[in-house]
């Protein structure tokens, strides 16, 4: 697993806090930072990550069970972390939820559930860590965006709205926090086989592949390599943008035509 990740020497020794770390893209991002000799705080809500990399991680993996909406818990943890002489250099806001419900059937609970996790809690967690990073001379915040922020998505309109709002919020945070040495970017995965995308892939795999110029699904490792890049000094002059990692999804009106 370690050899699948690009190595950035400047990341070694830094601390990366990663939410939504217990499966799929989040779990792979944890592995990617560990392979770059980072200390990783893997945040999970219920089931811990199934990471078994003692030869890579050593004592550099910290498992933190917390709900990203529990600001008091994160504030207390970060205060204790700071008091021990530690600092968080990188925050990856990977946690998010998707609920497939037609807009005409959505209720207020659906709205608050999706907006709270994907937007509200993500912002206030970013704010907490930005204040910490400001005191320490800077840092990097990376938000999980979505293709739903780029093109309308059927039956998940609230999710699309939350990701569109997060996309603009990423730009605003990048602009306001630049004087503090904080870079803020997003990453926009294409179709990656995970538990979240499995239902769609099961229904229409061929159609989804035909929408991608590279004519294949991506891997969680390819997404994690993009996140590593954004966190590293290789992206030191990049802020306020979303890195699209999609294999050229919808690059042209008919992505399948060059393959015919």
Identify the bridge partners of residue 120 per DSSP, sorted by sequence position: none
- Is 113 catalytic? The answer is no
Q: Calculate what percentage of the chain has a pLDDT beyond 90.
A: 82
Residue 200: pLDDT band (50, 70, 90) is confident
Residue whose pair of structure tokens reads 């893997």 in the numeric block = 42
- Residue 57 has a pLDDT of 66
Which two structure tokens, joined as six digits, stand for 249? 């999804």
What's the angle, vertex CA 85, arms to CA 84 and CA 89, rounded to 5?
115
Better-predicted residue by pLDDT, 197 or 217: 217
Note the pTM of the prediction, 2 decimals: 0.94
What angle, rounded to 10 degrees, do the helices at 108-115 and 157-177 form?
30
- Residue 255 has a pLDDT of 77
Q: How far apart are CA 217 and CA 84, in angstroms?
A: 43
- Residue 59 has a pLDDT of 86
- Residue 52 has a pLDDT of 56
Strands (E), the chain: 15-18, 39-44, 61-65, 90-93, 139-144, 182-189, 242-245
Cβ within 8 Å of residue 109, ≥6 positions away: none
Q: With a cut of 70, say whether residue 53 has pLDDT above it.
A: no
CATH code that applies to domain 2-259: 3.40.50.720
Q: Are 94 and 68 in contact (CB under 8 A)?
A: no
Give the burial class of 187: count Cβ atoms within 10 A of its Cβ; 0-12 exposed, 13-18 middle, 19 or more buried: buried
Mean pLDDT computed over every residue of the chain: 93
- Residue 1 has a pLDDT of 46
Q: How far apart are CA 42 and CA 40, in angstroms?
A: 6
- Residue 46 has a pLDDT of 85
Q: Which is the catalytic residue, given 8, 44, 113, 159? A: 159
Buried b (16+ CB within 10 A) or exposed e, 75-110: eebbeebeeeeeebbbbbbbbbebeeeeeeebeeeb
Q: Are 34 and 61 in contact (CB under 8 A)?
A: yes
Q: With a cut of 90, say whether residue 48 has pLDDT above it.
A: no
């Amino acid at each position: 697993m370690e050899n699948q990740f690009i190595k950035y020497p400047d990341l070694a020794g830094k601390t990366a806090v990663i939410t939504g770390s217990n499966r799929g893209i989040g779990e792979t991002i944890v592995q990617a930072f560990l392979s770059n000799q980072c200390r990783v705080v893997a945040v999970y809500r219920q089931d811990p990550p199934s990471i078994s990399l003692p030869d890579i991680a050593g004592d550099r993996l910290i498992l933190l069970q917390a709900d990203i909406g529990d600001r008091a818990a994160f504030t207390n943890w970060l205060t204790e972390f700071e008091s021990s002489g530690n600092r968080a250099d990188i925050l990856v806001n990977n946690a998010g939820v998707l609920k497939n419900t037609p807009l005409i059937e959505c209720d207020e609970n659906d709205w608050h559930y999706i907006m709270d996790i994907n937007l509200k809690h993500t912002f206030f967690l970013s704010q907490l860590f930005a204040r910490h990073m400001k005191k320490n001379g800077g840092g990097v915040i990376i938000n999980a965006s979505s293709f739903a922020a780029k093109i309308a998505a059927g039956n998940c309109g609230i999710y699309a709205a939350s990701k569109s709002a997060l996309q603009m919020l990423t730009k605003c945070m990048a602009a306001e926090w630049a004087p503090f040495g904080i870079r803020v970017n997003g990453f926009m995965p294409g179709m990656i086989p995970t538990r979240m995308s499995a239902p769609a892939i099961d229904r229409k795999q061929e159609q989804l592949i035909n929408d991608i110029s590279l004519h294949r699904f991506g891997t969680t490792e390819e997404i994690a390599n993009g996140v590593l890049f954004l966190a590293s000094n290789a992206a030191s002059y990049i802020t306020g943008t979303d890195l699209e990692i999609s294999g050229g999804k919808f690059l042209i009106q008919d992505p399948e035509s060059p393959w015919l």
